[in-house]
Structure 1
Amino acid sequence: MDFSKFNITPPHLKEAMELMKSGRLKEATTLIQNNLSGNVSDSTTPDNTSNANTMKDVTPDRPTLQDSATTKKSKPTEKAKSTKTENRTTPEERANQSPNKLPDSIQSLTDKIKNFKIDLPSMIDINGMSAGLNTHIEPTIPENAQFLQGTFKSSQGSHDYRLYIPASYTQAVEQGLHVPLIVMLHGCTQSPEDFAVGTGMNELAEQYQCLIVYPAQPVSANPNRCWNWFKPTDQQQGQGEPAWLAELTQSIIKGYAVDPSRVYIAGLSAGAAMAVIMAETYPELYAAIGVHSGLAYRSATNLPSALMTMRKGSTSSPNLAPNQKFVPMIVFHGDQDQTVNIRNGEQIVEQAKLRLQAQKMTLDRQQHEIGSKKSYRITQLKVIDDKGLNQLEYWKIHGAGHNWAGGSSAGSYTDPKGPDASKEMMRFFLQHEQTTG
């Protein structure tokens, strides 16, 4: 059945997507098989299908996380410890064993869809559909480390989160040390667990003795679990998602031995766009920011403009707050990104340059070409201050798409081919400390 001549999604395919979204894989399989064999009546029409101009969720709901009130600082149970030592399968193997693995008929269909010339909303990534159904893989953690579940309640509502505490944290506390904190914001359809597995940030936290907090965006806030970077109410200080994230960050700082001068925030895609917003709305809270495949501050103000911006970049120049403090920034973007056009990454850098120029500091711009057999070719821009510190880095990754560079294939929206974005972000972060005044 050839749909390449149509410019709409086949009705039965939309229905199958909705079934997969709700976890009804068997019914979706039957629908697809019947259609491919011609034994189906297309009662669904474009009039009664969902609006194509909406952000759609292709990931089944995950169970609600338990409140952390009784587990916040608890030690792993003996049962949990036993599970850690006995489970020797890799995240990749567990992904293949997942009960949510796509049936062969649906996997075959997703392969066929890649050849259809249909105008699906850019938030739907057919290539990521099978990965999207496996986004809740529990990461393997070392003995004595913890990956706590929590729910943080504030004036802006409640969100779940996961907090990674490295095995070395107790020793650091006993020595009177305070450790860095990194806030990691997942992309659309992802979960904290998936993002942790894909980026490998927990492993780096062990190496560099950091806490990592992964806030979770629920489907009640956005059906595709996107951070609402395009809504005016979520682009300002003191309200919406920025206020909730800031309060969560401050809560972790107060509840644990965190160095408040070494708090950082990073994200992918919609999470990266929200990280940019956090740097604009709470610059006094974060010492540096990491942006992977993101969008500039106030580059959109509603859903239609968001979809247009993702495809082509923003057509307007946002009104940046005057005299705002610049937050050092490292940016990654693939020049073959078909979900968030690379023009968006360039606009993030342009905004950062405006901020830097307003600081009236002496700056040196350096550009290099980097490449190896294990990595994509990279054009790297560095803006260095008079103290020799990188204030801005931009990694333009030639040939890369909408994926976390150097990430694990066990997570969604990752590309194992380098550069290693997580490692480079950690390096950049730990060069910077928050200053007052």
Structure 2
Amino acid sequence: MPTRLLMAVVMIVLLPALASAGSVTSNTLPAGSYAASRDRQYQVYVPDTLITPAPMVMALHGCSQTQSNALNEWGLQSAADRYGFILVTPFITSYDGLRNQNCWGFWFDQHQHEGSGEPQDLLRIGQAVEATYSIDPNRRYITGLSSGGAMAVVAAVIHNEYWAAAAPASGLPYGEDAASVSLSGQCPGYATFHSVSQLVSDMNAERNDTYPIPLMVLQNNNDCTVIQPAGRNIRDAHLQVFGDASHNTPATAQQSQATCAPFHQDDYDCLHTRYGNGDGRSVMETVFFDGPTATANTTDTDHGHYWVGGEDGSEGAWAVRAGPSYPDIIWDFFARHSRDGSGGSNGDPSLTLNGDNPMTVDLDSTFTDPGATATDPEDGSLSVNADCSAVDTSTEGDYTCTYSATDNDGNSVTRSRTVSVIDPSAPDVTCDTANASPSGHITAGRATAGGTSDLRAFSLTDQQDIGASFDTWSSVTLFQGEPGTWYAAQPEACRTGGGDTGGDGDCQDWYATNLQHDSAGRAYYQMGYFTIGGDDALGAVSGTYAWVHSTAAGVFQAGQCP
């Protein structure tokens, strides 16, 4: 072994011992006989004081990182000492396909299914750890950052018979492809995503166990590499697949919302939201915050894409200390969600809003609060404190009602309702469209210039990248909602019957690149571009222009109107 490599291995083993009261071992899992398996290195940290059988937490590094980043810079060793779990940090070691250095291959088909590739290797690593240490089979957990977060989602979907819960940080939904990552090197980033309905279909086709595996999604709203729609898409798809029929959307499944705790130095307006089936146990939890883009480490990209290690973390590559403390928040989530439900609700009550959320009220009308109900696994029904004093029906705007309940042990739950006061006589959505080049849209006030040196054009209202700001030759369609608002994707009201949608026998067509059709909600990408609703092939090249038309709301077909 070369001297420098030998010294690196020695340092990996010794450094944690200086900071933590435990031991680290380095291991190698030989490749299996199934497709796309490879030799995988991994390390195991075992606290000196450990009650067995112990929980196991597997942490997956991100691109351009190794297992030592997750082991030494994420604050997880201190968390393992504090909470009493065995920490496992696998290394991608080697990989197939075209990808950046050390990325887990969440977008390759051979690494998205049970019985093959990287997720099967990770399962075997977990089983190898169990063969050496006393692990509680009801408390096996997996987390990760970036591509490691995306692979944690893959593991949660295809091996929910093994893992008890998962917590992806800056991860991506199951079944996504490489286009879901922004590689422009700019802020804000730009990426394309599969529709939630497609994600749900892919997840249902893969899952083979009924266990509704709890998932916590941690996402910086200012992340320019894995941009925020990713976190919301993971949430929405997971709720549809694993929530019950009456709790499968964010509005119907939300149980509570509170500021994130603990945090180090600044919580960056972090909100921790719990979603569940009303039994005190979460199906989904989100930790969304407005973190900075700049980091202290000079090897980082300053794109708001990092792990937050808290007080015991390090300012490493794609790792910061300040912000919501991931190790503590993730462990609290894991501790509340064993497979067998032991300690499941942690005594927390659940609160359900009656009526709509958000709720719409006409200007100068009388507002009546539909209220809320709260229950606790131990105490039964609880009284709810409701505060809607901010609602003013004499003035248009959005107002907030706040609801809270506390059980006999002092555990509290809080939820909020948005009340929108609108003028029913005000202009509604127009559903008008405008075709022009990105430069032409900027000139007409339907788009703005932004990005590095204002070289990109962004739709006025939803701020989606529609091309180069200097582009005067392309044709891009923008959609008007209310007068003066312009969107890259057709507004929801226009897709469900409001305005001129192209339904009722009318036909509307668009001429744009495949990528622009994807961004506008007319197409999706799955190893090529296909129209939404019609599933007509448009080709695999994002910059190729194609005609797409629609004769019914939400259904798009290749070609021009007949």
Instruction: Map Cα deviations across residues 368-394 of structure 1 (whole Å, 9 max, x no partner).
Output: 455986321113321144332233211
Aligned residue for 1:253, secondary structure, equals: helix
Range moving further from structure 2, 154-163 or 382-391: 382-391
* Closer/same/farther in 2, CA of residues 179 and 141 from structure 1, 3 Å limit: farther
Aligned to 1:320: 203
Aligned to 1:242: 119
**2: CA distance between counterparts of 1:331 and 1:313?**
19
* Closer/same/farther in 2, CA of residues 423 and 325 from structure 1, 3 Å limit: same
Written as runs of structure 1 = structure 2, the 5 A alignment for 1:59-208 is: 138-141=15-18, 145-155=22-32, 156-169=37-50, 172=51, 177-208=52-83
* Structure 2 residue 169 is matched with structure 1 residue 292: yes
Partner residue of 2:226 out of 335, 340, 364: 340
Q: Where does the alignment leave 5 or more consecutive residues of structure 1 unmatched? A: 1-60, 67-78, 85-137
One-letter identity of the residue aligned with 2:170: S
- What TM-score does the superposition give when structure 1 sets the normalisation length? 0.62
Aligned to 1:423: 328
Partner residue of 1:434 out of 328, 339, 342: 339
* Structure 2 residue 267 is matched with structure 1 residue 375: yes
Following superposition, the deviation at residue 426 of structure 1 comes to 0.6
1:313–1:343: 8 Å Cα contact kept in structure 2?
no
2:20–2:77: 8 Å Cα contact kept in structure 1?
no
Partner residue of 2:239 out of 331, 353, 357: 353
Written as runs of structure 1 = structure 2, the 5 A alignment for 1:222-241 is: 224-241=101-118
Following superposition, the deviation at residue 242 of structure 1 comes to 0.9
**1: CA distance between counterparts of 2:148 and 2:117?**
15
2:17–2:23: 8 Å Cα contact kept in structure 1?
no
**1: CA distance between counterparts of 2:154 and 2:5?**
27
Percent of aligned positions with the same letter in both sequences?
25
Aligned residue for 1:225, secondary structure, equals: coil
* Closer/same/farther in 2, CA of residues 359 and 284 from structure 1, 3 Å limit: farther
Following superposition, the deviation at residue 198 of structure 1 comes to 1.9
One-letter identity of the residue aligned with 1:157: R
Aligned to 1:311: 190
Following superposition, the deviation at residue 219 of structure 1 comes to 4.4
One-letter identity of the residue aligned with 2:72: V
**2: CA distance between counterparts of 1:331 and 1:62?**
36
* Closer/same/farther in 2, CA of residues 246 and 416 from structure 1, 3 Å limit: same
**2: CA distance between counterparts of 1:283 and 1:270?**
19
Range moving further from structure 2, 286-295 or 251-260: 251-260
Written as runs of structure 1 = structure 2, the 5 A alignment for 1:381-392 is: 381-392=273-284
* Structure 2 residue 92 is matched with structure 1 residue 217: yes
1:65–1:149: 8 Å Cα contact kept in structure 2?
no
Following superposition, the deviation at residue 246 of structure 1 comes to 0.8
Following superposition, the deviation at residue 364 of structure 1 comes to 4.5
Aligned residue for 2:190, secondary structure, equals: helix
1:229–1:270: 8 Å Cα contact kept in structure 2?
yes
2:255–2:278: 8 Å Cα contact kept in structure 1?
no
- What TM-score does the superposition give when structure 2 sets the normalisation length? 0.49
One-letter identity of the residue aligned with 2:317: S
* Closer/same/farther in 2, CA of residues 287 and 360 from structure 1, 3 Å limit: farther
Range moving further from structure 2, 288-297 or 150-159: 150-159
One-letter identity of the residue aligned with 1:352: H
**2: CA distance between counterparts of 1:304 and 1:189?**
18
Q: CA RMSD in A?
A: 3.0
Aligned residue for 1:311, secondary structure, equals: coil
2:239–2:283: 8 Å Cα contact kept in structure 1?
no
Q: Which has the higher contact order (CA 8 A, sep 6+)?
A: 1
For the pair shown, which has the larger CA radius of gyration, 1 or 2? 2
Q: Where does the alignment leave 5 or more consecutive residues of structure 2 unmatched? A: 293-303, 342-562
**2: CA distance between counterparts of 1:355 and 1:201?**
30
Aligned to 1:365: 255
One-letter identity of the residue aligned with 1:320: M
Aligned to 1:396: 288
Following superposition, the deviation at residue 218 of structure 1 comes to 2.0
**1: CA distance between counterparts of 2:173 and 2:276?**
21
2:217–2:231: 8 Å Cα contact kept in structure 1?
yes
Aligned to 2:346: none
Following superposition, the deviation at residue 435 of structure 1 comes to 3.5
Aligned to 1:277: 154
Instruction: Map Cα deviations across residues 212-249 of structure 1 (whole Å, 9 max, x no partner).
Output: 11000124545500100110110000001011111111
One-letter identity of the residue aligned with 1:321: N
Instruction: Map Cα deviations across residues 103-154 of structure 1 (whole Å, 9 max, x no partner).
Output: xxxxxxxxxxxxxxxxxxxxxxxxxxxxxxxxxxx43446762110110114
**2: CA distance between counterparts of 1:268 and 1:344?**
13
* Closer/same/farther in 2, CA of residues 188 and 62 from structure 1, 3 Å limit: farther
Instruction: Map Cα deviations across residues 310-331 of structure 1 (whole Å, 9 max, x no partner).
Output: 8324134222226753210111
* Closer/same/farther in 2, CA of residues 141 and 148 from structure 1, 3 Å limit: farther
Aligned to 1:264: 141
Aligned residue for 2:243, secondary structure, equals: helix
Larger helix fraction of residues: 1
* Closer/same/farther in 2, CA of residues 337 and 363 from structure 1, 3 Å limit: closer
Larger strand fraction of residues: 2
Aligned residues: 301
One-letter identity of the residue aligned with 1:432: H
Aligned residue for 2:331, secondary structure, equals: helix
Following superposition, the deviation at residue 405 of structure 1 comes to 2.1
* Closer/same/farther in 2, CA of residues 395 and 223 from structure 1, 3 Å limit: closer
1:378–1:395: 8 Å Cα contact kept in structure 2?
yes
